[in-house]
Amino acid sequence: MQTIYACRTSSKTMTDVLKQSLAKVLVHYYPLSGSMTVDPQDRFIVGLTEKGVPFMEAIACLATSGCPTRTRHGI
């Protein structure tokens, strides 16, 4: 079954909406946003630096008919 999700657009770009959504969701997974570091007592800890993560936007000129219907894993 192929599925296409669509939503109404607003003045914001889809990229802005996605960034805001990720910011709201990922706050609940804050340990995943840190990096391994060592504290003053030489213990490994997850350092939460609030650096954020790289976010990239890409555009492809491709009709949906050119999209693969199955992945190489058969999903």
| Count of domains forming the chain | 1
Structure tokens at 57: 């936007």
pTM above 0.85, yes or no: no
Task: Note the pLDDT tens digit of each residue in 20-43.
Answer: 888 888 778 777 777 888 999 999
The answer to whether residue 37 sits within a structural domain is yes
pLDDT at 17 over 60: yes
Task: Note the pLDDT tens digit of each residue in 42-58.
Answer: 999 888 777 767 778 87
The answer to whether residue 36 sits within a structural domain is yes
Task: List the domain range (segments joined by +) for residue 38.
Answer: 14-52
Per-residue burial over 29-60, b if 16 or more Cβ lie within 10 Å, else e, is eeeeeeeeeeeeeeeeeeeeeeeeeeeeeeee
The answer to whether residue 71 sits within a structural domain is no
The answer to whether residue 1 sits within a structural domain is no
pLDDT band with cut points at 50, 70 and 90 for residue 68: low
The answer to whether residue 75 sits within a structural domain is no
